[in-house]
Amino acid sequence: MTILTTARLRLEPFNQSHLDGLQAMNSDPQVMRYITGRAETREETLASIARVKARWDEWLFSWWVFIERDSHQIIGAGCIQHLGRDAANPLEIGWRLRQDKWHQGFASEAAQEMARFAFETFGVGTLCAVCHPDNKASEKVMQRLGMQFRAIEHWYDADMLTYAMTRADWDGRPALPGRAHGKDDGSA
């Protein structure tokens, strides 16, 4: 199980100790608005941690919590996983943040590092991302990451904006101000 770090975040594979932090975020209907449309119960959060732990064992990638390095609080979560959670499908990258942490660049910062992990550690060929057509904030994270709109595709029982990025897109991405570049930022 792989821990990732960025300038402001530590990304930890889900474990039992993350229950309270994950539940606080996932029980906010605004966070879940374009995902399931309703607050997640504590039992559901508990079950998702168990599922995710099994996927880490099986696939060597799955969901991380985003821990703010300054406060040590769980402020979000993100994933690399098979679309539809079916190993026959391409890989997707995903993210969510606690509402009080929106608009500060945390999702894009984590997305950079999760994508780096997928392309550079795993040698993934293509990463997809999907969102509800009205979820403009999530679409912007995809665009900021350098993903390209592909089509409206049917995933998770809904028509979703589907973006994709190849390894070649990743290697050729421009350096944008505000992007956390990890080891590539010129620092020692």
Ligand X SMILES: CC(C)(COP(=O)(O)OP(=O)(O)OC[C@H]1O[C@@H](n2cnc3c(N)ncnc32)[C@H](O)[C@@H]1OP(=O)(O)O)[C@@H](O)C(=O)NCCC(=O)NCCS
Residues binding ligand X (CB under 6 A): 31, 34-35, 94-97, 102-108, 131, 135, 137-138, 140-141, 178
Please calculate the CA angle 147-148-150 and round it to the nearest 5 degrees. 130
Closer by beta carbon to ligand X, 19 or else 35: 35
CB of 51 to ligand X, least distance (A): 18
CB of 123 to ligand X, least distance (A): 25
List phi, psi (to 5°) of 34: -100, 10
Q: What amino acid occupies position 154?
A: H
* DSSP label at residue 24: H
Residue with tokens 């995809």: 142
Closer by beta carbon to ligand X, 124 or else 129: 129
CB of 110 to ligand X, least distance (A): 8
Distance CA 81, CA 75 (A): 20
List phi, psi (to 5°) of 132: -60, 140
* DSSP label at residue 186: S
Closer by beta carbon to ligand X, 58 or else 134: 134
Closer by beta carbon to ligand X, 61 or else 162: 162
Residue nearest to ligand X (CB): 105
CB of 186 to ligand X, least distance (A): 17
